[in-house]
Amino acid sequence: MKGRITSVILLWTTCLILTGCFGLFDSSSDTIIGRYKVLWIDLQEQQFICEELEEYSTSCLTLVPEYVFAVGHNDNFIIAKQHPTSGFEDGFKVDTSLTNYYIIDIKRKIKTDGEKVIGPLTKEQFDRKVKEFKIEEIKFEMTYPEVP
């Protein structure tokens, strides 16, 4: 009888530990278009844009680093606003004093002679590229808090 009670207590303890560990990791994602998504894992301050390596894959190639707070797109381009963070060692503190802009050319494949991601850009550089690529009609429709 004593061995059975010990087994039950051990089983309950194991279940509680495993359940608690699953609660430590949190994440969320929003699909932008196709295999492109806004994703964060563990902390919203780590929100970034990535491209799934295969459809419905859990592997994702980072295109725009954290912290992405606004995104827009059409069939050819994704545009994004990003505040840089202090990185892992400093707790991913978001620097709202600096806003970077990115343009992702989604019809182009990554090649050695050029990248599909243009950025980080200042507002002035971004505005010039928008005119150059004739993508004025894109609005930042996916928005998130500037400070998560």
- Kind and range of the H or E run holding 132: helix 123-133
50-108 per-position pLDDT tens digit? 999 877 667 899 999 999 999 999 999 999 999 999 988 888 899 999 999 999 999 87
Domain ranges across the chain: 25-143
Q: How confident is the model at residue 2 (pLDDT cuts 50, 70, 90)?
A: low
- Mean pLDDT, residues 30-37: 94
> In this model, does residue 18 exceed pLDDT 70?
no
Which pTM does this prediction carry? Answer: 0.78
Q: What was the pLDDT predicted at 41?
A: 86
